[in-house]
Amino acid sequence: MKLVVGLGNPGPRYAQTRHNVGFMVIDQILRLCPGPKQQEKFAGLFNRIFIDEQPLALLKPTTSMNLSGIAVAQAMSFYKLPLENLLVITDDMALPPGKLRLRRCGSPGGHNGLASISSHLASENFSRLRVGIGPPNLPDPADYVLAEFSDQQWPSIAAVLDRAAQAVRCWACDGIDVVMNRFNAPEEL
């Protein structure tokens, strides 16, 4: 089994914010590949689905973003998964809206959700799918990530959610090397 974790903040106040794009990708996957009703498990909302006969666990931590590692560590420990079976989906201010970047591993890059996961797993050696939310146009980056996308940004975000769901499917079936070659645009390498 493989585990896909979408990062975000719980609650309706944050549902459509830039920081919740990881949750949005999980929701898109569930629209395309319906599974059983989400259940509360591992300090998050959990589903188990199959993509081309590959079992895939989907997790949206219900802790705050900065404590996402708690949920990820619980799920990884319960299923005794190796790090190469983990994919974390998160927002990235360094990428323009609508762009994806997949990596086999790497530093948190200032993202507190990734830092929490790295800390709880005692490793940065897990794959991540970063979804571009664009550079902040507000003085405080926290205000920017906790704001909703503009009306002008929604078309590119809607398209990237579908593309990100396709990337997750590719990762689940074909692995990180194939998905990086297929979904990372040349200018993002």
* Alpha-carbon span 86 to 137, nearest angstrom: 32
Active site residue 111: no
Structure token pair of residue 41: 């498990």
If residue 15 lies in a helix (H) or strand (E), which one and from where to where?
none
| 107-110 contacts at long range (C-beta below 8 A, 24 or more positions apart) | none
Nearest to 119 by CA among 67, 175, 166: 67
Distance of CA 35 to the CA centre of its chain: 18
Q: 């579908």: which residue's tokens? A: 162
Asked if residues 9 and 90 have their Cβ atoms less than 8 Å apart, the reply is: no
Asked if residues 91 and 21 have their Cβ atoms less than 8 Å apart, the reply is: yes
* Alpha-carbon span 71 to 63, nearest angstrom: 8
Q: Which of 2, 18, 19, 60 is catalytic?
A: 19
Residues designated as active site = 19
